[in-house]
Amino acid sequence: MSLTTPYDPQNIFAQIIRGDAPCYKIYEDDNVLAFLDLFPQSFGHTLVIPKRSAACNILDVDTEALAKVMAVVQKLTRVIVDELQPDGVQVAQFNGAPAGQTVFHIHVHIVPRYSGEGLGIHAAGKADPAELEKLQARLQQRIAAQG
């Protein structure tokens, strides 16, 4: 996928937005959706996406939608740090296959980092559904408590 490949409405995140595919949702508002990565690189790996932008990457997303995504990224990074107490946190966003992008609906990764733990392989091992459910519940409760 090049940086200028047209948006494919059948991509997996578009299916999740439409409700055609499941996700472990942790946050949603009118413009933004956040859910757990199915192939997490660390415990708590979360993805944040715009709901109303048919945009592949940072080049074609409209600025207002991107700003709304980033506001939620900051909010959820705080929630994740408060709840999971990592030692660090990476916020990442990839554009085009050569840069590591594998799903072509723009998204931002929140990847908590724990001292002494390496980063899991990108988009590789599938998480245990029971673990994801527990994590989803913890983060949803923390969001509800923090308002």
In the bound state with ligand 5GP, the residue whose beta carbon lies nearer, of 22 and 145, is 22
Question: At CB < 8 A and 24+ separation, what contacts does 131-136 make?
Answer: 132/24, 132/36, 132/38, 133/24, 135/24, 135/36, 135/43, 135/44, 136/24, 136/25, 136/26, 136/36
Q: Give the footprint of ligand 5GP on residues 16-55 (CB under 6 A).
A: 23, 35, 37-39, 47
Binding of residue 101 to ligand 5GP (CB under 6 A): yes
Binding of residue 57 to ligand 5GP (CB under 6 A): no
The distance of closest approach from Cβ of residue 139 to ligand 5GP in the complex, given in angstroms and rounded to an integer, is 14
The distance of closest approach from Cβ of residue 42 to ligand 5GP in the complex, given in angstroms and rounded to an integer, is 11
Distances in Å between the Cα of 93 and the Cα atoms of 68, 85, 105, 137, 146 are 15, 22, 11, 25, 26
Binding of residue 106 to ligand 5GP (CB under 6 A): no
The distance of closest approach from Cβ of residue 8 to ligand 5GP in the complex, given in angstroms and rounded to an integer, is 13
Binding of residue 71 to ligand 5GP (CB under 6 A): no
- Concatenated DSSP letters of 89-146: EEEE---SGGGT--S-S--EEEEEE-TT-PPPPTT-SPPPHHHHHHHHHHHHHHHHHH
User: Is 107 among the catalytic positions?
Assistant: yes
Q: Which stretch binds ligand 5GP (CB under 6 A): 51-59, 60-68, 95-103, 137-145?
A: 95-103
The distance of closest approach from Cβ of residue 38 to ligand 5GP in the complex, given in angstroms and rounded to an integer, is 4
